[in-house]
């Protein structure tokens, strides 16, 4: 471990790097875990990038719903990329070290994107609530300008709120031990390694987490309750089942995402909870982006139709090129 003398801490040393323990308790499964997470990363990236490309390229998808979806997919691409490449490298090479600066940078981007995702989920659920429960007023309420404001506000809100915590965190001194019991730089495991007074930061982090997760979650939940209530009043059994099947999939993913976030950041940390934090983090940090890309691509009729037309155009283009040559 690299270290430099800290004049303010006497004989203590200021750390310049951490060690991410990751899944070291499963030494025989490192290669298997590498392959599993590599497949998840590839599929998640491919699905989300495909959605972004289709939304950008197809004029018919330039509607509020798909603008929100394109932004969510773009966010998910960045979200998983803050965690998985570094974790995959550690699983493959065994090198678990990360600099203090790199760790705090990873924490900033992960926290910012997680906060932005909470906002986007609530915005998307509100959009669907208006479309399904208030269809006659939808066009007037969700116009292009308001849609852009909601998207920009979500991104700015996520990054600005995390910047406040990171600015406080950057003033901490870390002087040992240097082992983070996690597979990425998360807030609580990193803070525990500080030899500075963290009471104010802990309180600020709790308030930040409460504001970032609970209001968006309650708004999202309320929107889906209204949506499901409206769907259940559809006279056609087939239409009701189809609509409920799609929305219930979205709701399950949202509940898993918010539920695991709340368990990690708001529930008091007992020994049992600390052992489960890695599992919960896999759900909200790795599996949610994967499942979202699958739900919004494979279970979305318009996205599938757009993809089918794009594949056909590409096929006929290559065929015509071969004939001309």
Confidence class for position 300, pLDDT limits 50, 70, 90:
low
Q: What is the mean pLDDT of residues 293-303?
A: 71
How high is the mean pLDDT of the chain? 83
pLDDT at 259: 86
Q: What is the mean pLDDT of residues 252-271?
A: 79
All residues at 6 or more sequence positions from 99 whose CB lies less than 8 Å from its CB, including other chains: 16, 17, 18
d(CA 188, CA 264): 9
* Cis peptide upstream of residue 32 (ω within 30 degrees of 0): no
Confidence class for position 5, pLDDT limits 50, 70, 90:
very low
Q: What is the mean pLDDT of residues 217-227?
A: 90
pLDDT at 321: 58
Residue 11 in this model has a pLDDT that exceeds 50? no
pLDDT in tens, 173-195: 887 788 888 889 988 888 888 88
pTM, two decimal places: 0.84
Residue 150 in this model has a pLDDT that exceeds 90? yes
pLDDT at 291: 86
Residue 6 in this model has a pLDDT that exceeds 50? no
Q: What is the mean pLDDT of residues 4-11?
A: 41
Q: What is the mean pLDDT of residues 261-287?
A: 78
pLDDT at 139: 85
Show the CA angle centred on residue 163, arms to residues 270 and 48, nearest 5°.
Answer: 85
Q: What is the mean pLDDT of residues 51-72?
A: 87
Helices (H), 134-268: 135-141, 144-169, 187-191, 199-231, 237-265
Confidence class for position 2, pLDDT limits 50, 70, 90:
very low
Architecture of domain 17-316: Up-down Bundle (1.20)
CB-based contact 65:128 (threshold 8 Å)? yes
pLDDT at 29: 87
pLDDT in tens, 99-145: 989 999 999 999 999 999 999 999 999 998 998 888 888 888 888 88
Q: What is the mean pLDDT of residues 246-268?
A: 80
Residue 85 in this model has a pLDDT that exceeds 90? yes
């Amino acid at each position: 471990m690299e270290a430099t003398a800290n004049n303010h801490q006497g004989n203590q040393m200021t750390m310049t790097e951490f060690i991410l323990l990751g899944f070291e308790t499963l030494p025989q499964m490192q290669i298997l875990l590498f392959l599993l997470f590599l497949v998840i990363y590839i599929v998640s990236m491919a699905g989300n990038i495909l959605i972004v490309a289709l939304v950008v390229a197809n004029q018919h998808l330039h509607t509020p719903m798909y603008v929100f979806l394109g932004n969510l997919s773009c966010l998910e691409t960045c979200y998983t990329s803050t965690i998985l490449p570094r974790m995959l490298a550690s699983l493959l090479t065994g090198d678990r070290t990360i600099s203090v600066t790199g760790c705090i940078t990873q924490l900033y981007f992960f926290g910012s994107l997680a906060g932005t995702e909470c906002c986007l989920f609530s915005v998307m659920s509100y959009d669907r609530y208006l479309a399904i429960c208030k269809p006659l007023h939808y066009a007037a309420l969700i116009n292009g300008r308001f849609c852009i404001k909601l998207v920009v506000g979500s991104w700015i809100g996520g990054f600005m709120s995390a910047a406040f915590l990171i600015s406080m965190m950057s003033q901490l001194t870390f002087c040992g031990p240097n082992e983070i019991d996690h597979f990425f730089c998360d807030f609580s495991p990193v803070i525990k390694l500080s030899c500075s007074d963290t009471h104010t930061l802990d309180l600020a982090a709790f308030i930040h987490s409460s504001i970032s997760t609970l209001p968006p979650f309650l708004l999202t939940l309320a929107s889906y309750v209204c949506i499901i209530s409206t769907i259940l009043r559809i006279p056609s059994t087939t239409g009701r089942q189809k609509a409920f099947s799609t929305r219930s999939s979205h709701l399950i993913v949202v509940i898993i995402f918010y539920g695991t976030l709340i368990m990690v950041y708001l529930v008091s940390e007992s020994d049992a909870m600390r052992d489960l934090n890695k599992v919960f983090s896999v759900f909200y940090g790795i599996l949610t982006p994967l499942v979202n890309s699958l739900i919004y691509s494979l279970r979305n009729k318009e996205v599938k139709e757009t993809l089918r037309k794009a594949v056909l155009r590409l096929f006929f283009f290559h065929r015509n090129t071969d004939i001309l040559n």
